[in-house]
């Protein structure tokens, strides 16, 4: 558990992902590994034969034909991936990361991330990690599936230009998970030295203020410069608004607290926050 | 942990799956009718079965992209049951088959497939192709020249039409053209309608009309057991073929249970037992089908077409079906296995041919596979039995003879083991070093005893060393095999 994984796909968020990953690796003082997963898109199998006729050696011929097609496609994808990794490596080195490695894997993206999880300290992903096949239809981005699948923190980079954050905002809801998240933040070197703002969406009651003050106290004991703010309204609207007024900032929040079933019925705050936020979000479990 | 989601196997390839499903449905109809005729039941039994198995496997199966329905392999097993006891017993046997298959899935018997070698699988496939072809012969004997002409024309369309366009399934064109000709000219040839009842409605739930007693079980159990074995064998084989074609993994145990669920449900709606189909699965993949959706489409479409076009389906001349079935048998046959018969090791080729011969002569795929597996086991034992060497050396100035045994000692090599000792030599002392040998069974141990005894009777003093290491394998304690260094320990 000592690497920052930057998951790159060659789309427009790639440079932002590399920059954010480089920044995190420098802050955490750990090596950076660039990960590119070659997924197979079953949809791209171009078939023009609907004759349904099978003759002598049909099976062998079909196997030959399909594997030739895959071989060609695989070669192209590998070459493109190699170039992408090479240029990302140059970029990360320029950002001052001492140890940068590249890695390409075949398979499904989320499976690969789960396999690599034991080595990972943090995953950095683009806002719209290239979604093939099923994900195109459903708003089930790889990002969301990764956040659900892994227990390590995930940093979502947006496609805006990278600017080193000058402060960070903590989305706080007073729950036990949120307090655990505060604990994680205070023990990690990643955000050390940056001023913090604890934001909570709740009715204006003394209990809420009490909780906020306690959270702020936790941060201050750990040596953070911290402020607090109470917002009204739904977090998925109020928080993005707040972030816009904060300049170069990072939003830290806990992930998917409730069950998959409840998510199906009422949707998840985390998902809609991820969709609405224009700034990078650090999701902690 | 595998994260492949339900969405991935259902909706990753919608367009391809829908189109392939249509192609498969059109090819399934003639097959389902033809296999019902092989089994000796009304076409509706096979058609209902194909619908329900295809649809249920779409949900319950472990191999997306594979097509299951009423099959020739299963139809061949049930022939005598239908002939002697009637349809109701077949339905009961179908339900029991499903139960046995689910049991096999729960007990994870899919793993037993690893004892079925490649040659046996090829033999199974070839035998199946030959049996499907042979089942068409009754339609081609004692008939007028018109039937021959129709069948030939059908085959010509099937293989010729794709040269004109590949956008339309050529078996469908064959059926439409031949049916039109036969109706227009009022030809007096056999049609599907002559073969029995076609479905006129959607299937309904019904209990097999058999007495629920031990007598019934005695009748149906042997058939159900054979059906379960044959069905699982063909399904596992087809699954690995689809695995290879699409380069994706499958869940074999889920497939076993899925086949079971499909057969149980099918028995209760009046369908015959079925399993995965090699030919149809190849057609499906060839037409671009990869996901579960193609099987669902094929099954649903099949039923819709048959129920609503039943009047027309009954007019299809048997000659058209025969042509389609000949195509299926040609496409199922593994042409490579014949071409490479001489390149492959003789033992593999013998196993393949034996599987084919036994299956074709008994009409029972389970027996063929049994013989194939047995033969491959014997050949393997024979080969491993040759991995045995006994070196001998003279020590102590000719006073001691040392035999060093290296390799595998078991029933197949024990004769060679004994023959390696020179009992005629007159020495006061013999030392047998077996520390680098493996004694796999009782035969091996008794062979050693025999050798020791023989030396003793000649008045020679015998010492056996290293027996502990050698007989460690005899204990059958396989627990050490998965520990690091186990291979070195075994192979020295």
Could you give the ipTM of this predicted complex? 0.75
Please give the average per-residue pLDDT across B82-96, as a whole number: 94
In this structure, is residue B378 part of a structural domain? no
Nearest CB among A45, A58, A60 relative to B16 is that of A45
Indicate yes or no: CB of B328 within 8 angstroms of CB of A54: yes
What integer pLDDT is reported at residue B203 of this predicted model? 84
Interface check for A71 against chain B (CB to CB < 8 A): the answer is no
Q: Which domains does chain A have, with CATH numbers?
A: 3-41+76-157 (3.40.50.620), 167-284 (3.40.50.620)
Preferred mutation among B286, B291, B292 to probe A, highest tally of A CBs within 10 A: B286
B219 pLDDT higher than 90 = yes
Q: A147 and chain B: CB distance < 8 Å anywhere?
A: no
Give A40-90 pLDDT, tens digit per residue: 765 555 666 788 788 888 888 888 888 888 888 889 989 999 999 999 999
pLDDT band, very low/low/confident/very high, at A132 (cuts 50, 70, 90): very low
**CB pair distance less than 8 Å for A53 and B12:** no
B1 — pLDDT class (breaks 50, 70, 90): very low
Residue B98's SS3 state is helix
Query: Are B47 and B32 within 8 A, CB to CB?
Result: yes
Q: In angstroms, what separates the C-alpha of A64 from chain B's closest C-alpha?
A: 9
| B459 in any annotated domain | yes
Q: What is the DSSP letter of B108?
A: T
pLDDT number for residue B354: 96
Chain A residues with beta carbon closer than 8 angstroms to that of B335: 56-57, 60
- Regarding whether B77 and B193 lie in a shared domain, the answer is yes
What's the mean pLDDT in A30-42? 84
Whether B323 and B392 map to the same domain: the answer is no
Mean per-residue pLDDT of chain A:
82
Mean pLDDT across B185-213: 84
Q: Which span out of B109-118, B253-262, B389-398 was modeled with the highest average pLDDT?
A: B253-262
* Residues of chain B positioned with their CB less than 8 A from the CB of A110: 3
Asked whether B351 and B120 are in contact (CB, 8 A), the reply is yes
Do B208 and B280 lie in a common domain?
Answer: yes
Report how far residue B165's alpha carbon sits from residue B402's, in angstroms, rounded to the nearest whole number.
77
Judged by a CB distance cut-off of 8 A, whether residue B157 touches chain A is no
Q: Is residue B364 part of a domain?
A: no
Q: Is the same domain home to B195 and B249? A: yes
Residue B156: the pLDDT is 95
Q: Treating both helix axes as pointing N-terminal to C-terminal, what angle do B318-332 and B278-286 enclose, rounded to 10 degrees? A: 80
pLDDT tens digits, residue range A95-129? 988 899 999 998 888 888 999 999 999 999 887 65
For chain B, how many structural domains are there in total?
A: 2
Which chain B positions have a beta carbon within 8 Å of A145's beta carbon? 3, 5
Our CA-based measurement puts residue B27 at a distance from the nearest CA of chain A, in whole angstroms, of: 7
User: pLDDT at position A31, please?
Assistant: 93
> Is residue B425 domain-resident?
yes
pLDDT band at B442 (very low <50, low <70, confident <90, very high): confident
Could you tell me the CATH number of the domain that includes residue B424?
Answer: 3.30.750.24
Average the pLDDT over A198-219 and give the result: 89
Residue range of the domain that includes B143: 8-345
Between CA B170 and CA A153 the distance in angstroms is 55
Residue B173 and residue B238 in one domain: yes
CB contact, 8 Å: B7 with chain A?
A: yes
Q: A3 pairs with which residues across the strands?
A: A120
Is B375 a domain residue?
no
Contacts of B328 in chain A (CB under 8 A): 54
What is the pLDDT at residue A135?
41
Same domain, B486 and B425: yes
Phi, psi of A280 (to 5 degrees): -60, 145
Last-in-domain residue among B314, B345, B376 = B345
Q: Of B292, B316, B345, which closes a domain?
A: B345
Chain B hits for A57, Cβ within 8 Å? 335-336
More confident residue, B438 or A272: B438
Residues of B in contact with A137 (CB under 8 A): 7, 11
Rounded-to-integer distance, Cα A109 and Cα A125, Å: 11
**Within B247-389, where are the H helices?**
252-268, 278-286, 292-308, 310-313, 318-332, 335-339, 346-362, 365-385
Q: Please check whether residues B135 and B247 belong to one and the same domain.
A: yes
CA distance readout (Å), A163 to A20, A22, A280: 9, 12, 10
Is residue B424 included in any domain, yes or no? yes
- pTM of this structure: 0.78
Whether B179 maps to a domain, the answer reads: yes
Domain end (from B296, B316, B345): B345
pLDDT confidence of residue A57: 82
Residues B146, B290: one domain?
A: yes
Residues B51, B183, single domain; the answer is yes
Residue B455 has pLDDT above 60, yes or no: yes
Residue B291 is given by DSSP the state: S
B436 shares a domain with B316 = no
* Residue B402 domain flag: yes
| Bridge-based pairing state of the strands A281-284 and A249-254 | parallel
The answer to whether residues B412 and B279 belong to one domain is no
Looking at chain A, the whole-number percentage of residues with pLDDT higher than 70 is: 87
Largest CA distance in chain A: 81
Q: How many CB atoms lie within 10 A of CB A136?
A: 13
B108 and B161 share a domain? yes
Check pLDDT > 90 for residue B16.
no
CA A196 vs CA A29, A186, A219, A254, B423: distances in Å: 21, 11, 8, 16, 92
């Amino acid at each position: 558990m000592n690497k920052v994984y930057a998951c790159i796909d060659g789309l427009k968020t790639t440079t932002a992902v590399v920059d954010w990953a480089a920044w995190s690796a420098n802050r955490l003082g750990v090596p950076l590994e660039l990960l590119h997963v070659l997924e197979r898109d079953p949809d791209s199998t171009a078939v023009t034969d609907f004759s349904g006729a099978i003759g002598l050696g049909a099976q062998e011929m079909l196997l030959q034909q399909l594997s030739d097609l895959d071989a060609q496609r695989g070669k192209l994808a590998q070459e493109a991936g190699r170039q992408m990794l090479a240029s990302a490596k140059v970029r990360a080195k320029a950002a001052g990361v001492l140890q940068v490695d590249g890695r390409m894997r075949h398979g499904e993206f989320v499976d690969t991330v789960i396999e690599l999880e034991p080595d990972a300290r943090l995953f950095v992903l683009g806002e719209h990690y290239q979604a093939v096949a099923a994900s195109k239809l459903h708003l089930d981005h790889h990002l969301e599936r990764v956040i659900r699948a892994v227990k390590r923190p995930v940093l979502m980079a947006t496609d805006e230009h990278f600017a080193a954050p000058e402060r960070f905002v903590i989305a706080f809801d007073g729950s036990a998970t949120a307090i655990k998240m505060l604990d994680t933040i205070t023990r990690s070197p990643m955000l050390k030295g940056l001023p913090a703002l604890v934001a909570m969406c709740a009715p204006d009651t003394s209990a809420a203020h009490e909780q906020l003050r306690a959270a702020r106290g936790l941060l201050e004991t750990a040596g953070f410069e911290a402020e607090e703010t109470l917002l009204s309204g739904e977090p998925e609207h109020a928080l993005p608004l707040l972030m816009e007024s904060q300049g170069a900032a990072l939003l830290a929040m806990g992930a998917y607290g409730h069950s998959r079933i409840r998510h199906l019925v009422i949707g998840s705050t985390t998902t809609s926050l991820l969709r609405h936020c224009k700034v990078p979000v650090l999701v902690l479990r | 942990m595998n994260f492949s989601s339900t969405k991935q196997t259902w909706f990753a390839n919608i367009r391809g799956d829908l189109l392939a499903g249509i192609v498969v449905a059109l090819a399934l109809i003639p097959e389902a009718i033809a296999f019902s005729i092989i089994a000796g039941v009304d076409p509706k039994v096979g058609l209902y079965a194909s619908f329900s198995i295809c649809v249920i496997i779409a949900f319950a199966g472990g191999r997306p992209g594979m097509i299951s329905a009423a099959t020739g392999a299963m139809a061949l097993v049930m022939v005598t049951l239908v002939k002697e006891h009637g349809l109701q017993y077949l339905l009961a046997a179908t339900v029991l088959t499903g139960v046995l298959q689910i049991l096999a899935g729960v007990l994870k018997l899919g793993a037993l497939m690893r004892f079925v070698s490649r040659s046996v699988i090829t033999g199974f496939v070839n035998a199946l192709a030959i049996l499907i072809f042979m089942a068409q012969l009754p339609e081609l004997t004692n008939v007028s020249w018109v039937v021959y002409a129709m069948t030939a024309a059908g085959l010509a369309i099937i293989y010729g039409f794709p040269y004109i366009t590949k956008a339309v399934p050529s078996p469908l064109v064959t059926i439409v053209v031949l049916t039109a000709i036969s109706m227009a000219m009022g030809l007096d040839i056999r049609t599907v309608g002559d073969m029995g009842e076609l479905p006129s409605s959607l299937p309904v739930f019904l209990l097999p009309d058999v007495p629920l007693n031990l007598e019934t079980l005695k009748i149906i159990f042997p058939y159900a057991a054979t059906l379960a074995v044959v069905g699982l064998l063909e399904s596992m084989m087809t699954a690995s073929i689809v695995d290879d074609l699409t380069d994706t993994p499958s869940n074999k145990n889920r497939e076993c249970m899925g086949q079971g669920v499909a057969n149980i449900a099918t028995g209760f709606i009046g369908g015959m037992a079925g399993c995965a189909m090699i030919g149809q699965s190849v057609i499906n993949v060839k037409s671009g089908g990869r996901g579960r959706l193609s099987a669902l489409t094929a099954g649903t479409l099949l039923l819709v077409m048959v129920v609503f076009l039943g009047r027309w389906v009954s007019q299809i001349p048997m000659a058209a079906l025969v042509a389609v079935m000949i195509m299926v048998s040609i496409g199922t046959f593994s042409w490579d296995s014949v071409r490479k018969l001489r390149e492959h090791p003789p033992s593999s080729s013998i196993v393949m041919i034996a599987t084919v011969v036994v299956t074709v002569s008994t009409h029972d795929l389970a027996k063929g596979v049994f013989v194939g597996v047995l033969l491959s086991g014997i050949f393997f034992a024979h080969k491993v039995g040759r991995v045995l060497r006994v070196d001998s050396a003279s020590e102590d100035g000719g006073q001691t003879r040392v035999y060093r045994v290296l390799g595998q000692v078991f029933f197949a090599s024990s004769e060679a083991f004994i023959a390696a000792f020179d009992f005629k030599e007159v020495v006061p002392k013999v030392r047998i070093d077996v520390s680098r040998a493996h004694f796999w069974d009782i035969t091996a141990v008794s062979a050693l005893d025999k050798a020791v005894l023989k030396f003793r009777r000649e008045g020679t003093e015998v010492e056996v060393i290293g027996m502990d290491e050698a007989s460690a394998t005899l204990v059958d304690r396989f627990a050490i095999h998965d520990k690091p260094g186990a291979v070195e320990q075994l192979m020295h």
